[in-house]
């Protein structure tokens, strides 16, 4: 992956909290959620991060790519950069 969403940055910016409040367990706690699974398990951490992302989307956050690798260097991507990639999913249309 050369571009991604750093959920800690997105969380901090969206909920206006300092960086020390963006650890996984603290983010879950502040959202009224418990950590599911085993701590430091890659799969369980991923599932918990997904739960945070879903909650942020429900709260109105516009999740965007905010970091990338360019020339071997980690770079922050400005939030004013247009969203790249596929269009947002649409609700299925039912035929009558």
Domain 3-76: CATH superfamily, name plus number: Ribonuclease H-like superfamily/Ribonuclease H (3.30.420.10)
Give which of 14, 8, 4 is closest to 62, Cα–Cα.
14
Write the DSSP assignment of 13-47 as a string of letters: HHHT--GGG-SHHHHHHHTT-PPPS-TT-HHHHHH
Give 78's pLDDT tier (boundaries 50, 70, 90).
confident
Residue range 21-74, pLDDT digits in tens: 999 999 999 999 999 999 889 999 999 999 999 999 999 999 999 999 989 989
pTM beyond 0.85: the answer is no
């Amino acid at each position: 992956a050369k571009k991604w969403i750093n959920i800690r940055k997105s969380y901090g910016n969206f909920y206006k909290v300092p960086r020390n409040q963006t650890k996984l367990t603290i983010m879950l706690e502040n959202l009224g959620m418990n950590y599911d699974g085993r701590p430091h398990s890659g799969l369980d951490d991923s599932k918990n991060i997904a739960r945070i992302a879903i909650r942020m989307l429900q709260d109105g956050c516009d999740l965007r790519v905010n970091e990338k690798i360019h020339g071997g260097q980690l770079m922050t991507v400005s939030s004013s950069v247009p969203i790249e990639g596929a269009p947002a999913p649409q609700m299925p249309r039912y035929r009558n």
